[in-house]
A and B are shown apart, each in its own frame.
Chain A
Amino acid sequence: MNTKNKNKFLSPGHNACSGCGQLSAVHAVMRGLTPDTIIANATGCLEVTTTAYPQTSWGLPWIHSLFENASSVASGIRAALDKQGNHTTKVLVQAGDGGTYDIGLGLISGMWERGENILYICYDTESYSNTGIQASGSTPYGAATTTTPNGEKSVGSTQVKKDMLAIALAHGLKYVAQTAAGFPDDITNKVKKALAVSGPAYIQILSPCIPGWKINYDEAAMMGKLAVKTGLYPILEYTNGKLSASSINANFKAEPVNTYLKGQGRFKHLTEEDIKHIQSLAEENIKKYRI
Chain B
Amino acid sequence: MKKGLIIKPNTALDNKTGAWRTHRPITNQDKCIGCSLCAKLCPEGCIEMISINNKQKPRTDYDYCKGCGLCAKECPVKVIAMKEDY
Binding site for B on A (CB under 8 A): 1-4, 7-8, 10-16, 18-24, 27-28, 31, 50, 52-60, 182, 184-185, 217-222
Contact = CB atoms under 8 A, between A and B. Distances in A.
B24 interface: no
B58 interface: no
A59 B50 CA distance: 22
A24 B12 contact: no
Interface in B38-70: 40-46, 48, 50, 59, 61, 63-64, 66-70
Interface size on B, as a range, is 35 or more
A185 to B, nearest CB: 7
A56 B42 contact: no
10 contacts: A1-B48, A4-B63, A8-B10, A11-B12, A12-B45, A28-B40, A53-B7, A56-B11, A184-B40, A222-B74
Dominant SS at the A interface? Answer: loop
A58 B46 contact: no
Contacts of B9: 7, 56, 58-60
B10 A58 contact: yes
B14 interface: yes
Contact of A221 (B11, B16, B41): B41
Given A1-B59, A15-B17, A218 B41 contact: no
Given A1-B59, A24-B70, A222-B74, A13 B13 contact: yes
Contacts of A16: 43
Nearest to A22: B43
A14 to B, nearest CB: 6
A210 to B, nearest CB: 8
A216 to B, nearest CB: 8
